[in-house]
Structures are given as C-alpha cells and as structure tokens.
C-alpha cells in the first residue's frame, strides 16, 4: 500500500475552484493561439506528464472522454493517476481518443491518426497535448487567423519541420481537424485547427 501511495500523486487541492480557474486559462489559450499562459493550480504531476498537461487533463477529462497516452505512460503512474482522479478511460487507438498526449520530437502517431471530428460534429475531434522542452527558443513559425491580431510568432522547442507541415495540412481540413495545446512546465499555448501556419518553407 505504501508503494502505491507514493506513486499516485494528489489531484487538485480544491477541485471546483482549481478546475474552474484552469478551464478559463485553457479556453483562453485556444482563443488566442500562440499566446503563452501559465496554469496556477498547485499540483505535482505523475512522471511523464508536464504540470500544465496534468492540470489541463484533470480539468477537461472525465469518464466519457477516452485518453490516448504513449504506451509507457499508459502502463505506468500517469495512466493510474488519470484513471483515479479523472475517471477517464485509456484507449490504445488514437482515433478513438478525445484527448491525447505526445512529446514533441519523440516517436508518436501522426496528427492524421487522431479523430478529426465529422461533418455533423466537428467538435468531437481529438485535442492533443504536445509536451515541449520550452515554449520559446525553438523553430519559429508565424500564426494567423481567429484570435490573432495580424500575426503572431510562436517558437516552442521540440516540434520538428515535419510536425509543422502536418499542422498546416491539419488546418487545411478545417472545420475538421485536431486542436493542439503545447505545454512546458506550467505554461500552455493553444493551436486550434482554425489557425494558419507559415513556416520558413512557405514564406
């Protein structure tokens, strides 16, 4: 019992207040793409999850939202933590997930492997958390579209050029497609499918 207690990290200290505050921050990140925000609730995540990823998942996921995690995370403390605190089922099929976690630059399913929604319910797509080393100092891209006055530079560390090409192709499917949330430490930034992406290759 002692070993399990050490592995299973605590959730929110004040579930109602903390989740409401975090929800507003996550919603703001998606409504202002590429603008970095910080999630406030105090929480120590299980190994493999950035604090911002853990906070957002605990806020958004529930028993009706299957989550895809990399196999090592799903089989370890992160999977147990998410099932215990959020009641969220884990899926091994990316296309069945409501939420997913990948690490930028590591081996992972392609964006097109996740659920893009459908013509009747485009909102039933996968939201993907992309865990990064930092949300600054990486390969810069230029974002434009709803929620961005003019354009905005975004340069998270980790995503490679192939990812940005896939993200641009994901935008081309709009109103279908996945939404992305980049996390590093307690920081978070959104990239909804409605955002246009310009890389050095397209300028």
What per-residue confidence (pLDDT) applies to 200? 64
Burial of 60 (0-12, 13-18, 19+ CB in 10 A): buried
Q: Which of 71, 101, 103, 98 lies closest to 87, judged by CA?
A: 98
Q: How confident is the model at residue 1 (pLDDT cuts 50, 70, 90)?
A: very low
- How high is the pLDDT of residue 7? 52
pTM (two decimals):
0.92
DSSP state of 90: B
Residue 4 has pLDDT above 90, yes or no: no
| Eight-class DSSP state of 126 | P
The pair phi, psi for residue 16, each rounded to 5°, is -70, -55
**Nearby residues of 130 by Cβ (< 8 Å), 6 or more positions away:** 102, 103, 104, 156, 158, 159, 180, 181, 182, 183
**Domain 12-198 is in which class?**
alpha beta
Task: Return the domain boundaries, the chain.
Answer: 12-198
């Amino acid at each position: 019992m002692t070993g399990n207690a050490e592995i299973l990290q605590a959730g929110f200290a004040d579930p109602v207040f903390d989740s409401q505050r975090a929800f507003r921050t996550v919603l703001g990140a998606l409504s202002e793409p590429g603008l970095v925000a910080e999630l406030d609730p105090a929480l120590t995540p299980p190994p493999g999850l950035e604090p911002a990823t853990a906070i957002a998942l605990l806020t958004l996921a529930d028993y009706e939202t299957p989550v895809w995690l990399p196999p090592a995370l799903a089989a370890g403390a992160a999977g147990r933590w998410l099932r215990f605190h959020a009641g969220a089922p884990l899926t091994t099929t990316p296309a069945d997930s409501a939420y997913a976690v990948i690490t930028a630059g590591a081996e992972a399913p392609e964006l097109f492997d996740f659920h893009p929604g459908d013509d009747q319910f485009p909102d039933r797509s996968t939201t993907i958390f992309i865990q990064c080393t930092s949300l600054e100092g990486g390969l810069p891209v230029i974002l434009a579209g709803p929620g961005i006055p003019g354009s905005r530079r975004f340069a998270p560390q980790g995503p490679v050029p192939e990812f940005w090409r896939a993200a641009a192709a994901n935008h081309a499917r709009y109103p279908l497609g996945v939404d992305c949330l980049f996390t590093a430490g307690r920081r978070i930034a959104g990239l909804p499918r409605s955002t246009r992406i310009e890389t050095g290759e397209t300028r």
